[in-house]
Amino acid sequence: MTHPPASRNHSELQAGSLRAGDHLILPDGNRSAEVHQVDVETDDFGTPAMVLATLSGGGVLRIAAGSTVRITENADDAETAEIDTEDTTEAAEFTDFAAAGTADTAPPNTGSATSDASASDADASDAGTAPAPGQEGSEAATPGVVVPPLPLVPPAVSGPSETDLALIPAPDGTPESVVEAVAEAHPGAVGVLLLSERLAKGINTKSGSCLKDLSDLAHELFVMLKDAENALAVADLLNVLPFDGNPGRWASVEASLALSSYICRQLGQDERAGIYEKFLRAPEAMEADPFKARINAKVRQRSLNEPNLYDKEIFRSIDNSNPDAEREWRLLRLEALLFLRAHGGSETIGAAELERRIGNELESVRP
């Protein structure tokens, strides 16, 4: 499908780059309207999904975040749309405009039946363009949006650099031998024994359950047994792994890095702690699209400012006189606090306050 080139007084930009004051070419291609406000809706994973452009005259345009739209550099180049907010028919037409950034997005509502899958490209092109109001009989309609194909880009994978890895001690033997040595150092610790028995069968860094066991073992050693040295030895088996695009596996590495950062800060090894914190934030810099990177940063900052610290669950366990449940919830709170501490705190909880809270949680869960 081809589109006529935009005129020299028009320019194209990504929907996410729209700003208040832009004069957006409407779907009919003959009129423009000034953008009053731009909001962005994200999907459940925090990725920008829909741009909502509120027009000065009323009405809202819903545009797929990855789409390309046209704006006019001179408001006089196109007839300015005067939209009455009480005209529900007109407003509904504008609301129906959802620019298709992907192949499975439905075309704008034209009032015609959906074309069959066997229709020609020319028919599909005509079906995807809404005629201007009052011009249903015109021979051709100018597209209101140019939608280039979007390539599927796999997540970037970046591993730790050799310079950074030089600051982390190499394991003494194989990963299995490291776990075995830890178990021998704590023969009476039931938690260490159970985890080490599972890991002794073989450590597979592609297995999410194996990574979770390693992370749990490192936490068990430091939190319950106050063994910082062995906790770091086990954690470093995870800390050198790169982000592979799988959030499930990365959660265990993330928890291990946060724990290692805290331990090293307590031991005065600030340079080594900084490397762990750098590794922890590495996935945040992998987004190549500037617009998506800005949105992801806002979502991430909001999660840091409003962390789930399991207050309700802990208070409920206390009210029910259930110390085991309370301890489990406090361990989850401790992990959340360590994660915040590795980020240097947030806009709502500073580093000093985090240190105090982490100390309180360690005192509460340790025997």
> How do residues 140-183 score in pLDDT, each as one tens digit?
444 455 444 444 444 444 556 778 888 899 998 999 999 999 99
Tell me, yes or no, whether 29 and 173 share the same domain.
no
Of 146, 173, 192, which one is at a domain's C-terminal end?
146
Tell me, yes or no, whether 70 and 176 share the same domain.
no
Tell me, yes or no, whether 194 and 291 share the same domain.
yes
Q: What is the pLDDT of residue 73?
A: 67
Structural domain of 352? 162-365
Phi and psi torsions of 268, nearest 5°: 80, 10
Tell me, yes or no, whether 111 and 235 share the same domain.
no
Of 98, 115, 146, which one is at a domain's C-terminal end?
146
Q: What is the pLDDT of residue 211?
A: 96
* CA distance linking residue 293 with residue 286, whole number of Å: 9
Highest mean pLDDT among 23-32, 126-135, 310-319: 310-319
Tell me, yes or no, whether 84 and 218 share the same domain.
no
Is residue 133 very low, low, confident or very high in pLDDT (cuts 50, 70, 90)? Answer: very low
Q: Give the count of domains, the chain.
A: 2
Q: To which H or E segment does residue 311 belong?
A: helix 311-319
- The pLDDT mean for the chain works out to 78
Is residue 86 very low, low, confident or very high in pLDDT (cuts 50, 70, 90)? Answer: very low
User: Coil, strand, or helix at residue 79?
Assistant: strand
Tell me, yes or no, whether 22 and 118 share the same domain.
yes
Residue 275 lies in a domain: yes
Q: CA separation (Å) from 37 to 43, 57, 79, 222?
A: 20, 11, 20, 51
Q: Residue 66 sits in a domain of what CATH number?
A: 2.30.30.30
Residue 119 lies in a domain: yes
108-114 own/partner pairs: CB under 8 Å, 24+ apart: 108/27, 108/144
Select the more confidently predicted residue: 21 or 355: 355
Residue 301 lies in a domain: yes
pTM of the model: 0.59
What b/e string do you get for 74-111 counting C-beta neighbours within 10 Å, with b at 16 or more?
A: eeeebebbebeeeeeebbebbebbbbbbeeeeebbebe
Range in 73-77, 253-257, 348-352 the model is least confident about: 73-77
Q: What is the pLDDT of residue 57?
A: 62
Of 99, 114, 146, which one is at a domain's C-terminal end?
146
Query: Per-residue DSSP letters for 8-74?
Result: TTEEEEEGGG--TT-EEEPTTSSEEEEEEEEEEEE-TTS-EEEEEEEETTS-EEEEETT-EEEEESS
Tell me, yes or no, whether 134 and 214 share the same domain.
no
pLDDT above 50 (res 99) = no
> How do residues 200-256 score in pLDDT, each as one tens digit?
889 999 999 999 999 999 999 999 999 999 999 999 999 999 998 888 999 999 999
8-state DSSP, 75: G
Tell me, yes or no, whether 57 and 141 share the same domain.
yes
Q: What is the pLDDT of residue 52?
A: 79
Residue 153 lies in a domain: no
Tell me, yes or no, whether 184 and 324 share the same domain.
yes
Residue 156 lies in a domain: no
What b/e string do you get for 298-321 counting C-beta neighbours within 10 Å, with b at 16 or more?
A: eeeeeebeeeebbeebbeebeeee
Q: What is the pLDDT of residue 340?
A: 96
Q: Which of 331, 120, 299 is nearest to 216 (CA)?
A: 331
8 A C-beta contact, residue 323 and residue 351: no
Tell me, yes or no, whether 63 and 186 share the same domain.
no
Quick one: average pLDDT of 307-316?
95
Tell me, yes or no, whether 26 and 74 share the same domain.
yes
Residue 262 lies in a domain: yes
Residue 216 lies in a domain: yes
Tell me, yes or no, whether 138 and 175 share the same domain.
no
Q: What is the pLDDT of residue 18?
A: 80
Residue 311 lies in a domain: yes
Phi and psi torsions of 4, nearest 5°: -65, 145
Is residue 38 very low, low, confident or very high in pLDDT (cuts 50, 70, 90)? Answer: confident
